[in-house]
Amino acid sequence: MAKERTRGKDGEAPAPARRASDRGHYGRLSRELVLATALDLVDEEGLSALSMRRLGARLGVEAMALYRYAEGKDALLDGLVEALYLELVERLSAGSPPEGATPPDPAAWRGELHRIARATYEVCLAHPQAVPLLTTRMLAVPLARRPLAVLKEHERVLALLRDAGLGPDRTAAVFRAFTGWVLGYVAVELRAMVDNPEEEDPAFRLGLHRMPPQELPRLRESAATLAERGGPEGLEAGLDALLDRFATD
């Protein structure tokens, strides 16, 4: 009787000893290609559609060929977080001064935080299906085990605050507040609000008939406004209010 193969933590079998071909529809695989394709799959079909088998089929290779680039489903999810942060780096680099330019004014740290917040917002709205990973994987993965791209972005914000003259305790406090505000704002922007997309009447579109009017009068009254996105303007207004608190403390 053949010995049953041990399955990984995510329920998928690990790669067999033999090497699978890593040349697919797009030529030879690379980690960057694998993660970019995984992100495309999630963008189109959601996180529940992501599996090594589905990703392999999209790339034109056997699923076991992917284990060279991600050890399993959890590693693939961490790779998606990495891909989001790498895109953030690209957006920030596009707006950075050229190498050799005058060093930035330390007093401009608030403006730089605004730039980081807005770029993060743009990345998240470009990939809404993957955004939950920015919270769930951070809850599951210890700091030192997070992708290097994530750690470098943490380092960027912390160095910005320290260079601006904030002490260690104040730096940590602003870092927590900044991170919490940006990710929280994005979560509110992307939360599901529409109950019936095919319905033209705003009240039925939002499903207000499902909310008891005597118990939820203010929620029913505000639902239509809450369903509208606050946009980057709301993000930046809230960030200014938050930073004002630390600037005057």
Q: Where do the domains of the chain lie, and which CATH numbers do they carry?
A: 17-70 (1.10.10), 74-248 (1.10.357.10)
HSE-CB at 183 with a 13 A cutoff on CA atoms is 14
Cβ 239 vs Cβ 113: under 8 Å: yes
Per-residue pLDDT tens for 44-62?
999 999 999 999 999 999 9
Q: pLDDT tens, 126-150?
A: 999 999 999 999 999 999 999 999 9
Q: Is 124 exposed, middle or buried (0-12, 13-18, 19+ CB in 10 A)?
A: buried
- Please, which pLDDT band fits residue 22 given cuts at 50, 70 and 90? low
Give the pLDDT score at 67: 92
Mean pLDDT of 158-176: 95
**Has residue 203 got a pLDDT over 70?**
yes
**pLDDT tens-digit readout, 92-110:** 998 765 555 444 555 689 9
**Considering the chain, what percentage of its residues have pLDDT values greater than 70?**
83
Q: Give residue 1's pLDDT.
A: 43
pLDDT score, position 21? 54
| Average pLDDT of the segment spanning 156-177 | 95
pLDDT at 99: 53
Judged against a pLDDT cut of 90, whether residue 212 lies above it is answered with yes
Give the closest residue to 56 by CA, choosing from 79, 24, 84: 24
Q: Where are the alpha helices (DSSP H) in the chain?
A: 31-45, 52-59, 73-94, 109-126, 133-140, 148-163, 168-190, 202-206, 217-226, 231-248
pTM for this entry: 0.83
Is 91 in contact with 153 (CB distance < 8 Å)? no
